[in-house]
Amino acid sequence: MYDGLIIASALAFLAAALVVVLAVPSTPHAPPPVEGSFGYRALLRDRPYLALIGTCAIFALCSMFLALSLPVYVVQGLSGPDWAPGPLLALNTLLLATCTAAVTRFVRRRCTRVRAMVWAGGLWVLWCAASAGAALLPSRALVPFLVAVVVCYTVAEMTYGPASNALAADAAPSGSRGTYLPGRGAPTWQRSSTPSRARTSSRRPCSVCSSATATSCRGSPSASSPHWV
């Protein structure tokens, strides 16, 4: 059984690699900035980006908590059935695989990336409170309630991930993304979603929203850009 799973996993990675090679268009790398500092020194002096890294580190604790703590909490903390954690984690994986794109399209039309992260944080707070409240439920209602709790957690995960990755990619200077994104923990292959008018502006883009002027942070939501993520 396990040999078959290992072979299937290897074939899935091979298929993904072929899709990337054959179907994903290549884009030229941005040259390093001619003027100004770049690299790790620039990253350590970029306080707004360091604040973004710190915020994402806090969110990362939430994103890892489900897989690490759910089995222990359900079986030992709630005295739930031993079989419940597996299907609950599978539900989380299934929703992530099938619904992330739809949730991203829905969210990006209605709020900015920062606001999307705030909504995700609120949903995670609701998930924590509901998980704690599960201890008060009778045993027959426990599993259906945990299904709803996992759905709440997964919606937060689908809301936070694309918004934070896009924000981190756009906030990094075009010539230093290879330094900035690993510092934040985002994939270095994340393509920039900065609108072309922001790239060509002679004014330095805002390090948080990467718009042409800092005043536009208070303006229209990122949904106005077709490249929100």
Does 195 have pLDDT greater than 70? no
| Residue-wise pLDDT tens digits, 164-173 | 888 888 887 7
CA distance 92 to 153: 8
Does 225 have pLDDT greater than 70? no
| Residue-wise pLDDT tens digits, 72-124 | 999 999 999 999 999 999 999 999 999 999 999 999 898 899 899 999 999 99
Please tell me the predicted confidence (pLDDT) of residue 27: 74
User: pTM (2 decimals)?
Assistant: 0.66
CA 224 to chain centre: 20
Does 185 have pLDDT greater than 70? no
| Residue-wise pLDDT tens digits, 200-222 | 333 344 434 333 333 333 333 33
| Residue-wise pLDDT tens digits, 104-116 | 999 989 889 989 9
